[in-house]
Amino acid sequence: MNKPLSGKLALVTGGSRGIGRAISIKLASLGAKVLVNYSSSPDAADETVRNCVEAGGEAEALGFSVGDSAAVDQAFDGIKEKYGKIDILVNNAGISRDGLFIRMRDEDWHKTLDINLNGSFYCARAAAKLMLKAKQGAIINISSVVGEMGNGGQVPYVSSKAGLLGLTKAMARELASRSITVNAITPGFIRTDMTDALDEKLKVEHLKAIPLSRYGEPSEVASLVAFLAGPEAAYITGQVIGINGGMYM
């Protein structure tokens, strides 16, 4: 089997479940050694590691909070000491604190931005220092369709995901001269444990907004990530690529 990512080291933040798990498994199956980041679910991260091994790859769990700048730097110091490099960074970790913005608590606003936007910045900054020395690398930021189109009741989440798009474009310009690509993916409704638990009437309403009339699969997002991380995407940078079934065009 062709393994285009053989010899590559990838870090997937929020890799213990859902889309992050699918991304970790896909990258591992293509030959990358995957560091599965988690913050508070070591058992789930260990399960992802087992899934990666079952897919014919290598992986290990790596616990730290992306929203803690010092913890991120410490984790990357450990990566540098053990591996001496990082080839692929997937900024996938994210949370949502939903509700009307006029009632939103300061702590919910700050927590969402700390994980979704600041965390991506901290990890990208640390990874870029290693990538710059190697003069190669791929950074992929998992944003959201709502970061492009907006969504009521999700002001902190939408703001953080929209911020990722600007972060992506600015970093892409700074890092391009060293052959480091930076791109963003904006998933729409993707089938996960969270969407599976939704009320059936709500699912029907969601599907009405999707021209393809179905939720996306985590594996479909993972395949797009794998493409952007691979050699065939070496001339793609600074792009925002939607995977949303047509709900935003």
The torsion angles phi and psi of 180, rounded to 5 degrees, stand at: -105, 125
Compute the Cα dihedral for 61, 63, 67, 68 and give only its sign: negative
Question: Whole-angstrom Cα distance, residue 127 to residue 76?
Answer: 7
Q: Are 28 and 58 in contact (CB under 8 A)?
A: yes
User: How does DSSP classify residue 58?
Assistant: E
Annotation marks residue 38 as catalytic: no
> Which is catalytic among the residues 38, 83, 122, 157?
157
- DSSP assigned state of 55: T
Q: Tell me the C-alpha distance between 245 and 211, whole Å.
A: 6
Active site positions, annotated: 157
